[in-house]
Amino acid sequence: MTAAVQVGKPDIVTLGEPLIEFNHIDRASSSYVQGFGGDMSNAAIAAARQGARVGIVSRVGMDRFGELLLELWDRERVDTSAVARDPQANTGMYFISHTPHGQLLSYLRAGSAASRLCPDNLPLDYITGARWLHVSGISQAISASACDAVFAAIAAAQAAGVKISYDSNLRLQLWPLDRARITVRATVALSDVFLPSLDDITALSDAANAEQAMQWCLDAGARMVVLKLGGDGVMVHADGEIFRVPPHRVDAIDVTGAGDCFAGAFLAALCAGASQRDAVAYANAAAALTTTGFGAVAPIPTRRRVEKFFESEAKKAQYAN
């Protein structure tokens, strides 16, 4: 195993479960392409590829998959000093199937090392030294102790003035809807930025459209909301104003991890000094670009790629006028 890369004190800390990914890209073949996933790891890598200082709080097994993840984060310059290795549990994994109705995720993660996160094994000093803590509904759904850990991390972060970013990332294979509804609502009220998908909110509420979904988020106590509308861009509530950011037209082939890429790129842009509006526009482009390749991590764009994309979009707009 390589020595852990130290990136200095991280500005962004993400907390949750990394996974080994097996992607069934070619439906005619029985082979799966191995990659990496786990929403919190995806978001951390997305932020690091934009140049942010990022660290991850998690647990992996003493197995080869745990080693592969540590090597990945080292290559990506994600700080691993708060990642514990668990000799008693495996690293989780998931499988992506591409069906005519979209991507289907299946999991092998029950009892995984990350699901053994709990309030007693949280590196609180590490979390309270950051500017942002990013957590998700998946981090809460993987086990009761991990859910407690998320709330304990939020409480410690808030007491230290660290801002909270939250993605509901609803996965109903992992927890029942009623529990998810109560937990997500409670967490929204604690968050500085809430980044749900429209699909999540329509499942969690009676909302029939984006406007009603936004209202549900605001009624739940959200301050800033970035409601991701899939192919229709995003609807944002910031500083008392609601506005939409249109989608970028790209050749999307795999949307796995697009929301995580959005979160990581958004937080990285804020840490680099962008306004909320500019950070949303930046993340919207990064998320579009990540859908043009297979898997959650491999296609996440670097800052250079996002900047080039903006340049080419500006040229296209110039020629169109």
Residues that bind ligand KDG (CB under 6 A): 19, 37-39, 42, 94, 105, 138, 171, 256-257, 259-260, 296
Buried b (16+ CB within 10 A) or exposed e, 91-107: bbbbbbebeeeeeeeeb
The nearest distance, CB 307 to ligand KDG, in angstroms, is 24
Enumerate residues 6+ apart whose C-beta is below 8 A from 178: none
The amino acid sitting at 241 is E
Are the C-beta atoms of 116 and 60 separated by less than 8 Å? no
Q: Which is nearer to ligand KDG, 10 or 37 (CB)?
A: 37
Which pair of structure tokens corresponds to residue 187?
Answer: 């967490």
Measured from the CB of residue 37, what is the shortest distance to ligand KDG in angstroms? 3
**In the complex, minimum distance from the CB of residue 138 to ligand KDG, in angstroms, rounded to a whole number:** 4
Q: Which is nearer to ligand KDG, 233 or 295 (CB)?
A: 295
* Amino acid letter, residue 107: Y
Give the nearest distance from C-beta 227 to ligand KDG in angstroms: 16
Give least dist CB 29 to ligand KDG, A. 22
Nearer to ligand KDG, 179 or 223 (CB): 179
In the bound complex, which residue of the shown chain has the CB atom lying closest to ligand KDG? 37
Measured from the CB atom, is 131 or 146 closer to ligand KDG? 146
- Any idea what the Cα angle at residue 151 is, between residues 259 and 275, rounded to 5°? 45
- In the complex, least distance from residue 72 CB atom to ligand KDG, rounded to whole angstroms: 13
CB-based contact 252:292 (threshold 8 Å) = yes
Q: Are 59 and 116 in contact (CB under 8 A)?
A: yes
Say if CB 67 and CB 1 are below 8 A apart. Answer: yes
Nearer to ligand KDG, 195 or 210 (CB): 195
Among the listed residues 38, 44, 166, 25, the one whose alpha carbon sits nearest the alpha carbon of residue 96: 25
Smaller CB separation from ligand KDG, 94 or 216: 94
Nearest-approach distance from CB 57 to ligand KDG, in angstroms = 15
| Distance separating alpha carbons of residues 181 and 177, to the nearest angstrom | 6
CB nearer to ligand KDG: pick between 32 and 223: 32
Residue type, 81: S
- Residue 223 CB, shortest distance to ligand KDG, in Å, is 23
Query: Sign (positive/negative) of CA torsion 151, 156, 159, 161?
Result: negative
Residue number with CB closer to ligand KDG (171 or 248): 171
Name, in order, each residue with C-beta under 8 angstroms of 307's C-beta and a sequence gap of 6 or more. none
